[in-house]
Structure formats: structure tokens, C-alpha cells
Amino acid sequence: MSQKSVLFDAPGPRARRRIAVGNVVGTLVVLGIAALVAVALANRGQFAADLWSPIFTTSAWQDYFIPGLQNTLRAAGYAVVGAVVFGLIFGSGRLARVGAVRWLSGVVVEFFRAVPVLLMMVFFWLLFGYNRISDDPAFLAVVIALILYNGSVIAELVRAGVGNLPKGQSEAGLAVGLTGGQVLRSIQLPQALIAMLPALVSQLVVVLKDTALGQIITYNELLRAAQIFGNGNSNNLQTLTIAALIFIIINWALTAVARWLSRYLSGRTSGATATGPGIGNPTAVAGKPGGPGNAIAATGDPSAT
């Protein structure tokens, strides 16, 4: 909001009057919509104390919300670690000099990026269940599906991160006598990894949101815990609102960290430090926070699929 807009010039006295009028009208419209929703909810008795009070008891948090949140964070934690490992392996695989390795990594990454996470979760859940691979097939299915999908996204982040480095970096490496692999490992990857950190944190938001898919395959995460609690008290609207709020607060904090990292790290690498869009596609990053100056990030990476 503080940034200079391309579309609008600095307003003169007349424009400033118009903006002020528009501001008042806009405020009224927004408040009006909020009031309409509130009145509609009140008419249906949704603000009644007995619908909200069960949420603010010790047992609600001790038995439902907190264990649910723990399960959510546990699945997200395992998934992130696995996804980073997967992403590094296949990301460097896509940059390998051997054609077959490059091709194989490309097929794996493109495949897992194209398949909906939910399909993978359902598949692994049933597979592990039939083969009795684990005591908790739902948890394992959530983690593995998230690793495969987000690992593929991170692999693309690695590749885009290396691709966005100035060409002089690898040329300088080759000029001092390093081999291609050494250039990748000791010059390009370290800079690319720093450059991709903000996008990686944004990807964490995607992982955390996608753990909620575990509800569909009966993994007892935050959403499912809230739903069970809500069913018991017939106040699903209220409990789901609380669950959504918990997700929003955590994700909003993660997004803030990503934005801060992006600013903080931009001086430490020759790559572009842009945050991810939060929907799981690194190459959707256009118009990075640094402004319109960076044409590489802005016009979209050619690898975007």
C-alpha cells in the first residue's frame, strides 16, 4: 500500500477529494456487508452462548484442538523434512549432466506435480491399510503424499533457483578450473538454496494447508478433531471457525517470515529471493517484492508447467 502504484499518479486536490469520498463509501459498503452477515447469523441464533461456550473449556483444547494441532504439525514436520531431501535429490537430478538422470528426474517431478495430492493420499492410505505396513496408515499416507508432491515442487524451486543465478557465476567457476558438478555443488546450489529459502517457507504454508486433506482419509489432524468436537456439541460452525482461525494465524505468521526472509536475504545471494505464491507452484512467482526490476522472475520461468 505504501508502494508507488503504476496506475495512479500522485493525487491532486480534486482527486484527493474523490478518494476521500470513495473511502467513506467503501467503508460503508464493507461494514454493511459485515453487518448483513452478522444479522443473518444472529437471526439463526448462531451467537448463542451455548454454541460458543463448549469451545472455551479445558477439555475442548486438551482433548481435541491441541492433540489435533499436534498431529497436524507432526505430519507437516515430517513432510517438510522429507520433501526437502526429495527436492534436493531430484532438483540436482534435473540439473545433472547425464541425459538419462535428467530425463528420469524430469518425469518423476512432472508426474508428482500433476497428480492431485488427495488422490495420492487415498491411494497410499488404502495400499498401506491392505498390506498392514503401519499401525497408522493414514498418518503415513499423509506424510508420503505430501513428500512426493511438495518434494517435486521443491525440486522445481532448486532448478529455478539455479537457473535464475547470473550466468557469470558458473562461468567464473568453470574459469577457475572447477568441473561442472563442482560448480553446481560449491557455487550454484549454495546461492540457489539461500535464494529459495523464502519460497521454501511459503511452501511450508502449502504443506500445512494440505495436511487438512488428511481429514478425508481419517487422519486425526486439527480439522478432523474440530469436526468430531463440533459434531458432539452440534456447533460445527463455531468449532470449524476456530480451527480455521488457528490455521490462518500459523500460515499468516509463516507468510510474514517468508516476506521478511526475502528482504533480509536479497543482499546475500546473486539469485532472486522471491516468496512463493502459497498455492504450490514456485514458477508462479511473478512481480517479486523487490519491485518490477527483475525481468527474469517477472516474465516467468520457461520451465513453468
Partner 1 sequence: MGDFLSQFGELFAAYDVPGAFWVNIQLTFWAAIFSLILGTVLALMRISPIASLQWAGATYVNILRNTPLTVIMTFLFLAVWTQLQISLSDDFAQNFFRFGVIGLTVYHAAFVCESIRSGVNTVPLGQAEAARAIGLSFLPAARLIILPQAFRGAIAPLGNTLIALLKNSTVVVAVSVSTETSTLMREMIESNANFIYAIFMIFAIGFAVLVIPIGLLTTFLSNRLAVRR
Considering only residues 196 to 215 of the shown chain, the ones binding partner 1 according to CB under 8 A are: 205, 208-213, 215
Residues 75, 199: contact at Cβ < 8 Å? no
> Contact between 1 and partner 1 (CB under 8 A)?
yes
Residues 275, 225: contact at Cβ < 8 Å? no
Instruction: Tell which positions 139-198 bind partner 1, by CB under 8 A.
Output: none
Tell me which stretch binds partner 1 (CB under 8 A): 89-97, 138-146, 172-180, 240-248: 240-248
Residues 158, 83: contact at Cβ < 8 Å? no
Residue whose CB is less far from partner 1, 96 or 115:
115
CB of 224 to partner 1, least distance (A): 9
Q: Tell which residue, 79, 258, 265, 97, has the closest CA to residue 190.
A: 265
> Contact between 135 and partner 1 (CB under 8 A)?
no
**Residue 300 — left, alpha, or beta (φ > 0 → left; ψ -120 to 50 → alpha)?**
left
Instruction: Tell which positions 260-279 bind partner 1, by CB under 8 A.
Output: 277-279
CB of 271 to partner 1, least distance (A): 18
- Count of residues in contact with partner 1, rule CB under 8 A: 81
Cell of 176: 577457475
Q: What angle do CA 214, 215, 220 make, to 5 degrees?
A: 85
> Contact between 14 and partner 1 (CB under 8 A)?
no
> Contact between 103 and partner 1 (CB under 8 A)?
no
Under DSSP, is residue 115 helix (H, G, I), strand (E, B) or coil?
coil
Tell me which stretch binds partner 1 (CB under 8 A): 26-34, 74-82, 135-143, 180-188: 26-34
By CB under 8 A, name the one of 88, 101, 104, 118 that touches partner 1: 118
By CB under 8 A, name the one of 44, 185, 263, 268 that touches partner 1: 44
Under DSSP, is residue 2 helix (H, G, I), strand (E, B) or coil?
coil
CB of 112 to partner 1, least distance (A): 9
Under DSSP, is residue 48 helix (H, G, I), strand (E, B) or coil?
coil
By CB under 8 A, name the one of 57, 81, 218, 252 that touches partner 1: 252
Number of continuous H segments (helices) and E segments (strands) in the chain:
13, 0
Cell of 124: 497410499
> Contact between 4 and partner 1 (CB under 8 A)?
yes
CB of 240 to partner 1, least distance (A): 5
> Contact between 286 and partner 1 (CB under 8 A)?
yes
Q: Tell which residue, 101, 73, 91, has the closest CA to residue 282.
A: 91
Q: Which amino acid is at 169?
A: Q
